[in-house]
Amino acid sequence: MRIAIYARVSSDDQAERGTIENQLEFARKYCDLHQLEIQDWYKDDGVTGTIPLEERPEGERLLDDARPL
C-alpha cells in the first residue's frame, strides 16, 4: 500500500508556530508504528480549508499523483 501524507495550515501564524510540522511528525510516527511506507509528502502552508483540494497547490499535486497511469 502506498501512503501519501497531506498537511495544511490556514494561516501564516499557524505556519510560523510549526503546526504543519507537528501534523507531519504525527503522521510519520503513525506510519512507523503501523509499518506503512510513505510514498510522498504534501503540505500547503497558509491555504484556507474553504479552497477545494484540487485548487490547492499541493492538493492538486496529490490528486495528480494518485491518478492511475
The residue from 2, 6, 8, 10 that is catalytic is 10
Across 40-51, b (16+ Cβ under 10 Å) vs e yields eebbbbebeeee
37: its cell numbers: 511506507
21: its cell numbers: 510540522
Tell me if residue 10 is catalytic: yes
Q: Residue 9 in contact with residue 48, Cβ under 8 Å?
A: no
Q: What residues act catalytically?
A: 10
